[in-house]
């Protein structure tokens, strides 16, 4: 079955043995809550490719030095079910795993523009009580 590249993710750090274990852990956790059985394994010839199967889809996650590419193959009969919403859900799951495995630094929360000083009105020095 032909796999098409759906998404790519820029990462800050390359795949290492330790990060590979973290990815496995998070995928196993996600698989526990999945509606359908999920299987995954690293490619025997290229240990920078992770194969994930969620019937009927076959997913490949390619780890490059500072890029992760997501490829998906779906049989012709199931393509109508693989909607944009499902593609985006898959993208979000992969992005979440990459963040949890610390491939990317999570975006920092924006700084508040609210003045942190007291919100009570200031009294004038010459104000009569």
Quote the pLDDT of residue 106.
67
- Report all structural domains of the chain as residue ranges with CATH numbers, in order of start: 4-100 (3.30.310)
pLDDT, averaged in runs of 10, over the chain (129 residues): 92 94 93 89 96 93 96 90 88 91 72 46 50
Give, rounded to a whole angstrom, the gap between the first and last alpha carbons of the chain.
83
Half-sphere exposure of 44 (CA within 13 A, CB side): 0
Whether the bond into 43 is cis, omega within 30 of 0: no
Quote the pLDDT of residue 105.
76
- The CA distance from 35 to 15, in Å, is 29
CB 89 within 8 A of CB 75: no
Going edge to edge, which strands form the sheet with 67-73?
Answer: 4-10, 67-73, 57-63, 49-54, 38-42
- The CA distance from 25 to 127, in Å, is 66
Assigned token pair, 39: 């299987």
């Amino acid at each position: 079955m032909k796999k098409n590249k759906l998404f790519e993710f820029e990462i800050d750090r390359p795949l290492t043995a330790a990060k590979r274990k973290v990815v496995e852990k998070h995928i196993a956790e996600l698989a526990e809550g999945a509606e359908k059985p999920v299987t995954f394994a690293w490619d025997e010839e290229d240990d920078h490719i992770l194969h994930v199967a969620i019937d009927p889809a076959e997913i490949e996650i390619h780890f490059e030095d500072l890029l992760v590419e997501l490829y998906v193959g779906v049989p012709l009969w199931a393509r109508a079910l693989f909607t944009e919403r499902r593609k985006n859900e898959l993208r979000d799951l992969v992005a979440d795993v990459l963040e949890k495995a610390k491939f990317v630094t999570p975006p920092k929360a924006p700084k508040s523009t609210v003045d942190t000083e007291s919100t009570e009105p200031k009294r004038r020095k010459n104000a009569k009580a």
